[in-house]
Structures are given as C-alpha cells and as structure tokens.
Amino acid sequence: MTANVSMQIKHGASEKWYRQFWPWFLIVLPGTVVIASIITLVIAIIHSDNLVRDDYYKDGLAINRYLEQDAFASQMQLSAGGQLAGDNIKITLNGTALSEYSHLLLQWQHPTSEELDFQTVLINDGENHYSAQLTQSVTGRWYLTLASFNNNEASDWRLKTEFDTDHTQQFVMDDQANNQGAQTP
C-alpha cells in the first residue's frame, strides 16, 4: 500500500504547473482586478462629468457682472411672463423705464446635461411681446435666463427662473425668481 501512495504523490508532484488548479486560481484573482480597473478607466474617460467647469476661475471673476445685471433688473422692476405652446414660446416683458428691445436672448440650461443646453432668440412682436419657435424639444426641468440681445454688447440686465414643463407650460421671471430660483450664472 505504501508503494501505491508514494506513486500517487510522485505522480502529483510531476504534473506540469499549468495543469494544476492553484496556480490558475492565484492568477485569475489579480487578473480579474486588472481587467475591472481597465473597464472602470474606460468608462470614466468616455463618460466624464461635465458638471465641473474647467474655467471656474474665469466664472468666478464674472460673478460681479452677473450680480450687477440682477441688481439692474431689480432697479428697473423687470419681470417677464412666459408661455410654452408646443414648439412656440411667447414672453411678455414688463418694467419701469423699459426700452423697446428688438430681440431678447433666452438661454435654456439643463440641470444635468450640458449637451442639451441651447439658446433661443426672441423677436419683438410689438408692445414688449416676444416670440420664437424652438429648434428642439423641451421637456422636464430647465434653468432659464432672459437678457437683452445685442450683437456686440453685454446685456445690462438678466432675469432667471426654473421651469418644469412636466408641471406647467407657463413661467414667471422677476427679481424674486433671481433671489429664490436657480443660482447658476
């Protein structure tokens, strides 16, 4: 019997390493971690977080300009009421010492995806009524910023609000919305 046992031990010891279980077990564990790390890196590179801005310092320097625009809108007692009807938007601008603007610029900012952001130029229909046809579908929640549209000059004022098309098709923009609504520049 001892001869049989010693033959089995010698036979097991003479097997090549790649036919054994334990070397493969010890290779597969770290190999799995390396493959998972590479997959995680590829996902991180392809789906990078666009909510973080690269030019945050520049945005920080511009905050005073945004605050001046908000204060000027408050001094003029500006307000705007808007209505979305299908792919058409209509806005009525109200305020004291209000100039007749030929165009207004409405910026649509999506809360989570910068790729969905776009701008709409509204044309004056008379008596501070402005309208435009939207170039893309808007559903869900949006941050809206309304300003006068001049080709080479920055706007003196801006109005901001949050707008959720799932709940209503109308919105109001005034200095209260500036203070309580979205605080993104």
**pLDDT single digits (tens) 52-67:** 667 778 778 888 888 8
Q: What is the pLDDT of residues 117-136, one digit of tens each?
A: 999 999 998 888 999 999 88
Which strand ranges, in their side-by-side order, compose the sheet holding 141-148?
Answer: 158-164, 141-148, 103-109, 118-126, 129-133, 88-94, 79-85, 170-174
Q: What is the C-alpha R_g of the chain?
A: 31
CA dihedral for 19, 20, 25, 26, sign (positive or negative): negative
DSSP one-letter code for 157: -
Q: Which two tokens stand for residue 156?
A: 């003196």
- Per-residue pLDDT, 66: 86
Residue 61 confidence (pLDDT): 80
Distance of CA 57 to the CA centre of its chain: 19
Cα gap 176→170, rounded to integer Å: 16
For residue 156, what are the CA distances in angstroms to 52, 132, 147, 149? 27, 22, 8, 10
**In the chain, how many H helices and how many E strands?**
4, 8
Low-confidence spans in the chain with pLDDT less than 70: 1-13, 49-53, 151-154, 175-185
Task: Please give the structure tokens belonging to residue 51.
Answer: 């909510």
For residues 139-173, one letter each, b for 16 or more C-beta atoms within 10 angstroms of the residue's C-beta and e for the rest, the string is eeebbbbbbbbeeeeebebbbbbbbeeeeeeebeb
Residue 9's Cβ-count burial label (10 Å; 0-12, 13-18, 19+) is exposed
Contact residues for 88 (Cβ-Cβ < 8 A; gap 6+):
131, 132, 133, 134
Q: What is the pTM of this model?
A: 0.66
In this prediction, residue 20 carries a pLDDT of 92
> In this predicted structure, what is the pLDDT of residue 183?
41
